[in-house]
Amino acid sequence: MWGTAGLSRSETRVVHFNPAYVFYPVFFTIVILFVCLCFQVKFYKSENRELSQTLYSRNAAIERLTRERMEHINRIDQLEQELGYYTSMYETLVPGETVYDVPVPRVRIADSVDSIAVYGLPPTVFQARVAGTRSMAPTLTEGMIVLLDAHVEVEDLQAGDIIAFKNPENPDINIIHRIIFIGQDDAGWYCLTKGDNPHCGVDGWKLRFQNIIAVYVGNIG
């Protein structure tokens, strides 16, 4: 016999559903997934930024190396052209053992001025002292006083003449060398020069007439 305060066998307990039991776990799960996704996005962005910087650095290095390679190629081409020029010049000027016959310097002082000590020098002739480079030895030696004539006509110049001229690469330096070749190119008249010393090579320039100061006519002592 059941008491009046109890429940009968046929009575069913009613359980009320609380949405919070489902909402909060799902909510917190979504929040955790979102936070993890944000960290992953930040991580991949950082990785992508570092990779981009690395690729940019590599591309810059490749461009720099490519530019340097092109500069080296251009320099090699220039040197090959210069080598070809000097090779052809050497073959033209040195068919045998000598480049030229060394003539006695042409007399440019008039016959009427034979006695220089008495009558003096023509106004265009001046003296200069040979430096100690030995480039013109044995023809001209250190300390020798040479006579140079500033009156120079381009048509009078010929291979074998000794001339004084300004260094085309450094106009502050004056040089006395011998003309070994005279030619014409697109820029006009030019000559090639060389010291008489057998250890000296051909000067590395085309000397223009405007660089010539005077022509050698003799020496004193």
Which architecture, in CATH terms, is 111-220?
A: Ribbon (2.10)
pLDDT greater at residue 108 or residue 56: 56
- The string of pLDDT tens digits covering residues 181-216 is 999 989 899 999 999 888 888 998 999 999 999 999
- 215 forms beta bridges with 149, 163
Its pTM stands at 0.49
- 219 forms beta bridges with 146
178-206 b/e (C-beta count within 10 Å ≥ 16 → b): bbbbeeeeeeebbbbbbbbbeebebbeeb
d(CA 112, CA 7): 163
Burial of 44 (0-12, 13-18, 19+ CB in 10 A): exposed
18-30 b/e (C-beta count within 10 Å ≥ 16 → b): eeeeeeeeeeeee
- The string of pLDDT tens digits covering residues 59-111 is 888 888 888 888 888 888 877 777 766 666 555 554 444 444 444 444 444 44
Domain boundaries, the chain: 17-93, 111-220
